[in-house]
Amino acid sequence: MVCPPMNYLMIHDIRKEYFDLNLDYYKLTFDDGLFTQYYYYPFFKNHSDKLSYFTTTSFIKPGKARAMFNDVYISHLKTRKYMYRTFIEGSYDHFMRVEELQEISKHPNVQIGVHSHFHDVILTRKHPRKRKPLSHWKLCRFDNISEISENDFSIRSKIAFQGFHYRNGSLIRRSQAEWEDYIKYDTDLCLKWMQQNLSMTPDMYCFPFNEYNEKLLSILKTFGFKKFFAARPGKSQEVNGRVDIDTLVDG
CA distance 204 to 54: 8
- The yes/no answer on whether domain 8-119+178-250 falls in CATH 2.40.50.140 is no
CA distance 22 to 166: 46
On whether the CB atoms of residues 68 and 41 are closer than 8 A, the answer is yes
pLDDT of residue 107: 95
Q: pLDDT band at residue 44, thresholds of 50, 70 and 90?
A: very high
For the stretch 45-61, pLDDT in tens is: 999 899 999 999 999 99
As a whole-number percent, the residues of the chain with pLDDT over 70 amount to: 92
pLDDT of residue 6: 52
Q: What is the mean pLDDT of residues 134-161?
A: 81
pLDDT score of 146 more than 70: no
DSSP SS3 for 207: coil
Instruction: Tell me the average pLDDT of the chain.
Output: 91
For the stretch 187-222, pLDDT in tens is: 999 999 999 999 999 999 999 999 999 999 999 999
CA distance 233 to 84: 27
pLDDT of residue 2: 43
Q: What is the mean pLDDT of residues 104-124?
A: 96
Higher-confidence residue of 186 and 152: namely 186
pLDDT of residue 218: 96
For the chain, give the longest Cα–Cα distance.
54
pLDDT of residue 199: 98
Could you tell me which residues come within 8 angstroms of residue 138 by beta carbon, excluding any fewer than 6 positions away? Answer: 121, 155
On whether the CB atoms of residues 174 and 122 are closer than 8 A, the answer is yes
On whether the CB atoms of residues 161 and 210 are closer than 8 A, the answer is no
CA distance 197 to 99: 9
CA quadruple 90, 92, 98, 99: dihedral sign: positive
pLDDT score of 84 more than 90: yes
Count the Cβ atoms, other than its own, within 10 Å of residue 139.
15
pLDDT score of 4 more than 50: no
pLDDT of residue 126: 85
As a whole-number percent, the residues of the chain with pLDDT over 90 amount to: 77
Q: What is the pTM of this model?
A: 0.93
DSSP 24-63: TTSEEEEEETBHHHHHTHHHHTT-SS-EEEEE-GGG-B--
